């Protein structure tokens, strides 16, 4: 019998990833511009791949929380590493982590949010 707290954690994280993906899908041009402003190569390509990856992670979290949790942690660590690099370089452009819903300047609060999400992903992964 699956642990209900692990299941709830995985579902919550799945909703976060699905929300992030949908906000990017609803505004492909904004997503492309944000990714380009964030210094990432091939923003047109990434604007399609990133939401698809986030949706796949959300699905994995629901279908198999352990595997989904591992995927979520891997993605979140990559996102967090990118944010740290941008902050250390003095860049404060919006990350667009949640599409046009997150237009505020990049800050260290984004790291705190991601740290919390990484911890939730670890709970699901270790289930």
pLDDT tens by residue, 16-57: 999 999 999 999 999 999 999 888 999 999 999 999 999 999
What's the pLDDT score for residue 1?
A: 46
For residue 105, the enclosing domain spans 4-126
31: tokens are 């997503």
Burial of 104 (0-12, 13-18, 19+ CB in 10 A): exposed
pLDDT at residue 119 greater than cutoff 50: yes
Could you tell me the pLDDT band of residue 125, with boundaries at 50, 70 and 90? very high
Q: Are 66 and 124 in contact (CB under 8 A)?
A: yes
Q: What is the pTM of this model?
A: 0.92
Q: How many folded domains does the chain comprise?
A: 1
């Amino acid at each position: 019998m699956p642990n209900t707290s692990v299941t709830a954690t995985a579902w919550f994280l799945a909703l976060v990833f699905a929300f992030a993906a949908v906000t990017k899908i609803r505004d492909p041009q904004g997503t492309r511009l944000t990714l380009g402003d964030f210094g990432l190569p091939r923003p047109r390509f990434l604007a399609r791949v990133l939401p698809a990856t986030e949706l796949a992670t959300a699905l994995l979290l629901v279908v198999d929380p352990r595997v989904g949790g591992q995927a979520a942690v891997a993605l979140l660590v990559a996102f967090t590493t990118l944010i740290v690099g941008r902050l250390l370089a003095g860049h404060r452009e919006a990350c667009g982590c949640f599409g046009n819903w997150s237009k505020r300047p990049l800050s260290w609060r984004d790291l705190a949010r991601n740290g919390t999400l990484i911890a939730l992903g670890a709970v699901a992964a270790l289930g």
